[in-house]
Amino acid sequence: MKKSILTLLGLLLYAAAAPAQATKATASGPGMYTTVGIAGSWYRSDYGNSNLYGPTIYVDAHFHRYVGLEGEARFLRWGGKQGIQQNTYLIGPRVSFKPEGWVPYVKMPVGLGTMRFPYGYGNGQYFVMAPGAGLEKWISNDNIHIRVVDVEYQVWPQFTFGTMKPYGISTGISFRVW
C-alpha cells in the first residue's frame, strides 16, 4: 500500500514537472504575434534646445517572424523650457533581424506630431517621419520583451519655423498579448 502511494505520488510529480521542461520546436519561430508595451523616453528638441521627457505606449503587431507594424504614442510633457511639449502618434513598418533572444530591429513610422509652444502661446500639428532602430531582449518563453534601447531621429518637415529634427532614446517593457 505504501509503495503504491509513493509510486502514484512520484508519477504525479513527474507529470507536473514535464510541461515546465517543454521547449519550442527548432523548425518554427514565433510566427504571428502582438505585444503591448510602455517605455520611458528622453528627447532633445530642436525647438528651444530642450530636453523633453515622458512616457511612450507602443504596440508591435508581427505578421511574420521578422516583419510587422509598430504603432506608438509618445507624450513628451516634462523638461521643456517655458512649458514646451511635443507628442507624436506614429505607425509604420518594423523589421526584426532575429526571431528570439536578443532581437535587433529597424523601423520607419510616420504620423502626426503636436507641439505646444512656450508660455501656451499656441499649438500646432505637423507631419512626422521617425526612422529608428533598437534592441530587445525576449524573456519568459518570449512572452516578455525588454526594450533595452530604442533610438529615433524624427523629422518634422512642415514645422512652422523650418524643418525640426528632434532625436531621442526610449527604454521599456512589453508583454505578448496574442
Digit-coded pLDDT (tens) for 105-119: 999 999 999 999 998
Q: Identify the structural domains of the chain with CATH numbers, from first to last.
A: 30-176 (2.40.160.20)
Specify the residue for cell string 505585444: 35
CA distance 137 to 150: 12
Query: Per-residue pLDDT tens for 122-135?
Result: 999 999 999 999 99
Q: How far apart are the first and last CA of the chain?
A: 47
Instruction: Tally the residues of the chain.
Output: 178
Half-sphere exposure for 72 (CA within 13 Å, toward CB) = 32
Q: What is the DSSP string of 104-146?
A: EEEE--EEEEEEE-GGG--EEEEEEE--EEEEEEEETTTTEEE
CB 116 within 8 A of CB 149: no
With beta carbons less than 8 A apart as the criterion, state whether 151 and 133 touch. yes
Between CA 131 and CA 116 the distance in angstroms is 23
Q: What are the phi and psi torsion angles at 13 (to 5°)?
A: -65, -40
Tens-level pLDDT at each residue, the chain (178 residues): 556 554 544 444 444 444 444 444 444 455 788 999 999 999 999 888 889 999 999 999 999 889 999 999 999 999 988 889 999 999 999 999 987 889 999 999 999 999 999 988 999 999 999 999 999 999 987 799 999 999 999 999 999 889 999 999 999 999 999 8
Cβ-proximal residues to 1 (8 Å cutoff; 6+ apart), any chain: none
pTM of the entire predicted model: 0.80
C-alpha cell recorded at residue 96: 526584426
